Amino acid sequence: MSRTVIAPPSVTVPNVPLSPGVAYENLVFVSGQLPIDPATGLLVEGISAQTKASLDNLRTVLEAAGASMQSVLKTTVFLKNMDDFGAMNAVYAEAFATEPPARSAIEVARLPKDALVEIEAVAARVK
């Protein structure tokens, strides 16, 4: 079995050794997606907008790998401040309106580019 790197051109990759996603057999592992606007390369402002941007970037990697938001099995949400949980959760609930995946939410001291949120996922490829 071989693994395939998933690197859609519209997803910004920081200058670090990582792939936006890796597909292996029927699974897709998506690296933490920062809330970077692909058109500008800059962070968007505010927790709600950042959550939406992170989820949009997550969706882009998933779709490039032959997966979808509906095929996500597990996410991990990293928050700079757990006080933002409610606002993040409201946007997250829109992205996963029915049968949401398993999820962990963790407060961290700092995220790259001083983002407020970063979201990673594991999904199944749609066959």
Predicted local distance difference test score (pLDDT) of residue 60: 97
pLDDT tens-place string over residues 68-115 = 999 999 999 999 999 999 999 999 999 999 999 999 999 999 999 999
The CATH number given to whatever domain includes residue 45 is 3.30.1330.40
Residue 38 lies in a domain: yes
Predicted local distance difference test score (pLDDT) of residue 10: 87
Q: Which domain holds residue 31?
A: 3-8+18-124
Specify the number of domains making up the chain. 1
Q: What is the 3-state secondary structure (H, E, C) of 35-103?
A: CECCCCCCECCCHHHHHHHHHHHHHHHHHHCCCCHHHEEEEEEEECCHHHHHHHHHHHHHHCCCCCCEE
Predicted model pTM: 0.96
Say if residue 126's pLDDT is above 90. no
